[in-house]
Amino acid sequence: MAAVNSILQVENLTKSFGDLVLFENISFGLSEGRFIVLFLLDSVPRGVAPNKLAEQAGVTPATMTGLIDGLERDNLVNRQADPDDRRRPR
């Protein structure tokens, strides 16, 4: 029974932390999707192609394009040409 209580406490703590992170993001004008994009971008040293970013975030490429467009419009990200393939932005 003590193990079950410990698991429930961890789940409650995790949910509380998740709610706090989401609240902080909303208070800064970031949707959960935009926060995830910035979080993923922060973990790569050189940028990443939008289709790979969409795959990592679990959204469609069209959704990722919209998220990136909004972040770029708000000057939170910028697209750069891929030095290895000029057809693709990063």
Query: pTM surpassing 0.95?
Result: no
Please give the pLDDT value at position 4. 42
* CA dist., res. 26 & res. 22, Å (int): 6
Q: How far out from the chain centre does Cα 63 lie?
A: 12
Give dist(CA 3, CA 1) in Å, integer.
Answer: 5
CA 42 from chain center: how many Å?
A: 9
pLDDT one-digit tens code per residue, 10-55? 444 445 545 555 555 555 667 888 988 988 888 887 788 899 999 9
Tell me how far apart the terminal alpha carbons of the chain are, to the nearest angstrom: 51
Give tens-digit pLDDT for 56-73: 999 999 999 999 999 999
